[in-house]
Amino acid sequence: MNNEFEIELQDTEWELTYIDHDREIVRAIIIDNNENYYFVRVQRDDTFGKMTLIETAGGGVEPNENLEDAIRRELKEELGAEVDILSKIGVVSDYYNLIHRHNLNNYYLCRVKSFGDKNMTQTEIDDFHLSTLKLRYEEAVDEYKKYSNSQLGKLIANREIPILMRAKKMIIENPIFLEI
């Protein structure tokens, strides 16, 4: 039986004109042994507008890269985190009509082993001003709701709050996820 969580979301914020490309993405809900969750705060000023957001760490899968290698690379780049991959949470298919893109977001539940130096791309440094957020579960949900007043923030919250809730359920059902 496949227990993988799947969600299909439409972009309700921008008019659909056409979709001309797909992007395979990996993202992670990251926890530590004390049930803290780690996210990135994004400060952007681009096609989507000027805003501050909360988002899971992650990014695009490179050619010939498997999903687990991609999530490890992305978490090292954005958070400086070395992680254990505990489980795949699921897949969210969503759209960014403004940039004509279909996103296939593969979500993983990961436990942090250590933090070191970040290895962000120049675009992540210059355009997104990423910083690390360490939050409790309830604080994370509140952050997503707080930033859902922007169009992009709403799309991200619609995608990530259900995944965060699913991850919390998985942790409750599998307390071993919090053990070393």
Angle at 2 between CA 163 and CA 167, to 5 degrees: 20
Q: What is the pLDDT of residue 116?
A: 82
Q: What is the pLDDT of residue 25?
A: 98
Question: What are the tens digits of pLDDT across the range 123-134?
Answer: 655 655 678 899
Average pLDDT along the chain: 91
- 5-174 maps to CATH 2.50.20.10: no
Angle between helices 137-146 and 151-173 (to 10 degrees): 160
Confidence (pTM) = 0.91
Q: What is the pLDDT of residue 7?
A: 96
Q: Does position 137 have pLDDT exceeding 80, yes or no? A: yes
Tell me the C-alpha to C-alpha distance, in Å, between residue 41 and each of 89, 94, 153, 154, 178: 22, 21, 12, 15, 24
